[in-house]
Amino acid sequence: MSATFQPFGLKPAYHPSGLDRATPFAGSNTFNGNFSTVSSTAIYGLSSGQSFWQYQPVAINTSGQLIIANQTAGSGKVFGVFDGVEYTNSDGRRSVAKYASKATLDASTQIIFWIFSDPGIVYEAQINGSATALAVGSEYNFDTSTSYVVNGVAVGSTVSAGYAIGVGGAGFSTTALLATAVTTGAQGQVRVVGLGREVAYPAGNTNAWGDSYTIVQVQICNNAFAAPSVTVN
């Protein structure tokens, strides 16, 4: 059973067509331009201390920049899920990573972001609470808790939360879903389509409906490039 809260963002599970590929973010799929600082011409918009993490929900702002997605559907749509970045660092070396901080990106050029952006992709995510089979068709916003701890540090389970392993290319989102679904007829960020197949916590157990921190399969239902669809139950 999923008895331990250990969120991992929105991890791609499958696509109905069988193709769940990340694609280069529009605006960053060429080597033209110098995006070394956050400005009106930058391809990303992060606040001080923020990072893009693998499996983190991301959005596009009115300036066409890649940003961290909003917590609720009422605050903005979701473009997709972050999967990695390529950039030329301050030493002139080409680097590939699964996460990048604002400080790293500000010092880099020739940035290419890779995003799972197809609206049909099904992801797995952990709810900060329990859900039964009746949750299929329900919609959730992202979690607001700041108390989730990794290696003794409270990183939270919000849409901007994540952690790095050592110094290098590994850095993962800890985004979770709120414990409670949105009300019937309301708009959420993701819709539950099934029970997650992700390995449950503690390891060796089977994820099941009604677990304390249920892992579910979801699709982005407030997609920037697709018509939103409200919860049906």
For residues 31 and 109, what is the distance between their CA atoms, to the nearest angstrom?
A: 9
pLDDT of residue 199: 79
Written as one string, the DSSP assignment of 142-181 is: BP-----EETTEE--SSTT-EEE-SSSS-EEE---B-SSP
- The token pair at 79 is 């473009």
Give the pLDDT of residue 39.
Answer: 42
**pLDDT greater than 80 at residue 30:** no
Which neighbouring-strand residues pair with 80?
A: 58
* pLDDT exceeds cutoff 80 at 207: yes
Of 39-53, 75-89, 120-134, 216-230, the least confident? 39-53
Q: For 32-52, how does the pLDDT look when each residue is reduced to its tens digit (9 = 90+)?
A: 444 444 344 578 999 999 999
Distance CA 160, CA 115 (A): 16
Burial class from Cβ neighbours inside 10 Å (0-12, 13-18, 19+) for residue 102 reads: middle
Token readout for 119 is 């609206």
Query: In the structure, what pLDDT confidence band is assigned to residue 110 with cuts at 50, 70 and 90?
Result: confident
**Residue 46: its pLDDT value, please?**
92
pLDDT of residue 38: 39
Phi/psi at 193 (5° precision) = -120, -5
